Amino acid sequence: MERRMGRRRFLGAAAGTAIAAGMFGRASARGRRPVRVGVIGTGGRGTSLLGILLGMEDVHVPAVCDISLPAAERARQMVADSGRPMPEAYTKGDHAYRGLVERDDLDAVVIATPWSWHTPMAVDALQAGKYAAVEVPCALTLDECWDLVNTSEKTGIPCMMLENWSFRRDNLAVLNMIRQGLFGDMVHCHCAHSHDCIDHWFFDPQGNIRWGGEFLIRRNCDQYPTHSLGPVLSWLDINCGDAFDSVTSTATESKGINAYFARKFGPDHPNAKRKYAQGDIVTSVIRTHRGKSVVVNYDMQLPRPYDNRWMVQGTLGLYDEDRAVVYIEGRSPAYHEWEPFAPYQEAFDHKWCQEAPTGAGHGGTDELELALFVKAVREGTQTPLDVYDSVTMSALVALSEKSIARHSEPVEFPDFTRGRWKTRKATFGVV
């Protein structure tokens, strides 16, 4: 799914979030073993990720998979046009991907398919001994979350969800500020995925329902929580010093979809009359075991500009992404007045974010996360986002649905680490 940034969603996007050649080897990888990656799902999102992979000289793509023959052929041609051998294509039926993951000339698999296929494809990849990089959300049910955790633990193979907003330059700078103590002890976060997706993601511009829109008919939940929660996990040391304990979710009525179709196509359009389970706004409140709180908003069906509304607050101050400001007690020059975030962005820029010119994919976040994934595959190490991070973000889909159905009763958040969060050390962004 293509996610657009607003007018200043990502400080420094014009320059691009860079990948230093010395760290990740974009320029030349002579003498290094190439990483061999198969790509499952070569629609718009999959070809975007494939294009970034092909920009890395030390990555080979021996195979691609898509049930759409034109999509698969387009991907094959992209690989050939990059100067690499023409890859084999797997296109015959929903389970054609299994032939790809069973190949013995692949180290890793990138999965960019409709949501319902994310978990089964990732599980099969892990069982075949391949690193799995899976698009968001990585799971839709709690059983799927546990399938990913259990399979990754049993096989010893990492599984990483491609939550690119965890790799935004501004979010990584805030992480540095938190870890250097500028905000004191962390207390609270707010986050949101506010993105009007009716006319291009859930439905096409002609009003036809797409596969994503089918979920609006049958589920009432936070359908897309990972962009909200991505940076919050590292900011609050979730799964490495703290963990989510319980969540309460509330949904509004569903009015926005019907109103959109009535406005654009008339009140007699079938989609203007259809009943949708999905409420327009879902608000979830998460409590952690250490007493922190997180407010998460789902807002994807009403007219609005794009917005994430991140705010993180501690005992010494706070950061507000929406206004691009901070206030730090004893450091901000004016008492109880905001100051711009931009100077802090420069002063606390993360080592992952260097002065590279490309910034490919959402201001460079896609390039950065894929480069780090490839680096982990090559070195046989853990990925920057591990399976516990991945399922923790995704679990809010099922948990919010359960809480809403129970009239906003609190529901317990599973401990996917099985208690190890109490002793695990933070690894994300530690360089």
Query: Of the residues 131, 165, 199, which one is the last residue of a structural domain?
Result: 165
Question: Would you tell me the crossing angle of helices 169-179 and 226-235 to the nearest 10 degrees?
Answer: 30
Q: Crossing angle for the helix pair 44-54 and 69-81, nearest 10 degrees?
A: 10
Tokens of 36: 């061999």
Q: Do 260 and 334 fall into the same domain?
A: yes
| 263 and 395 assigned to the same domain | yes
CATH number for the domain that contains residue 141:
3.40.50.720
Instruction: State the Cα–Cα distance between residues 19 and 58, nearest whole angstrom.
Output: 14
Is residue 316 in some structural domain? yes
Do 201 and 335 lie in a common domain? yes
117 and 243 co-located in one domain: no
95 is in which domain, residue-wise? Answer: 21-165
Q: Are residues 151 and 233 in the same domain?
A: no
Establish if 7 belongs to a structural domain. no
Q: How far apart are CA 373 and CA 232, in angstroms?
A: 20
**152 domain-assigned:** yes
The answer on 174 and 78 residing in a single domain is: no
Residues 82, 177 within the same domain: no
Q: The tokens 């879902």 sit on which residue?
A: 282
Specify the residue for token string 């099969």: 124
Query: Residue 431 falls within a domain, yes or no?
Result: no
The reported pTM is 0.92
Q: Of 165, 194, 215, which residue is a domain's last?
A: 165
Q: Exposed (0-12), middle (13-18) or buried (19+): which is 295, by Cβ within 10 Å? A: middle
d(CA 132, CA 38): 10
Rounded CA-CA distance 137/78 in Å is 26
| In contact, 170 and 308? CB cutoff 8 Å | no
* 3-state secondary structure (DSSP) of residue 370: helix
CA distance 232 to 226: 10
Residues 412 and 408: their CA atoms lie apart, in Å, by: 12
* Whether 255 and 190 share a structural domain: yes
Stated as kind and residue range, the H or E segment containing 312 is strand 311-314
Distance CA 384, CA 369 (A): 8
Q: Are 193 and 287 in a shared domain?
A: yes
Max alpha carbon distance in the chain (Å)? 65
Residue 263: helix, strand or coil by DSSP? helix
**Contact between 243 and 412 (Cβ < 8 Å):** no
**Structure tokens given for 390:** 């991945």
Q: Answer whether residue 360 is part of any domain.
A: no
203: domain CATH number is: 3.30.360.10
Q: How far apart are CA 288 and CA 239, in angstroms?
A: 10
User: Phi/psi at 388 (nearest 5 deg)?
Assistant: -70, -45
User: Residue 12: what pLDDT?
Assistant: 34
* Pairing of the two strands 131-134 and 159-161: parallel
> Which candidate, 44, 16, 60, places its Cα nearest to that of 135?
44
Q: Please name the residues in contact with 102: beta carbons below 8 A apart, sequence gap of 6 or more.
A: 128
Residue 356 forms part of a structural domain? no
Per-residue pLDDT of the chain (431 residues; tens, 9 = 90+): 333 333 233 333 322 333 333 334 433 345 588 999 999 999 999 999 999 999 998 999 999 999 999 999 999 999 999 999 999 999 999 999 999 999 999 999 999 999 999 999 999 999 999 999 999 999 999 999 999 999 999 999 999 999 999 999 999 999 999 999 999 999 999 999 999 999 999 999 999 999 999 999 999 999 999 999 999 999 999 999 999 999 999 999 999 999 999 999 999 999 999 999 999 999 999 999 999 999 999 999 999 999 999 999 999 999 999 999 999 999 999 888 999 999 999 999 999 996 444 566 677 899 999 999 999 999 999 999 999 999 999 999 999 999 999 999 999 999 999 999 999 999 999 99
Q: Is 186 inside a domain boundary?
A: yes
- Whether residue 315 sits in one domain with residue 214: yes
Clarify whether residues 200 and 143 are in a common domain: no
Determine if the peptide bond prior to 225 is cis (ω within 30°). Answer: no
Residue type, 163: E
> Per the structure, how many domains does the chain have?
2
User: Which letter does DSSP use for residue 408 in this model?
Assistant: S
Q: Residues 392, 215: contact at Cβ < 8 Å?
A: no
pLDDT at residue number 10: 32
What pLDDT shows up at residue 5?
35
- pLDDT (0 to 100) of residue 33: 85
302 domain-assigned: yes
| Single residue among 165, 183, 208 that ends a domain in this structure | 165
Considering the domain architecture, whether residues 146 and 173 belong to the same structural domain is answered as no
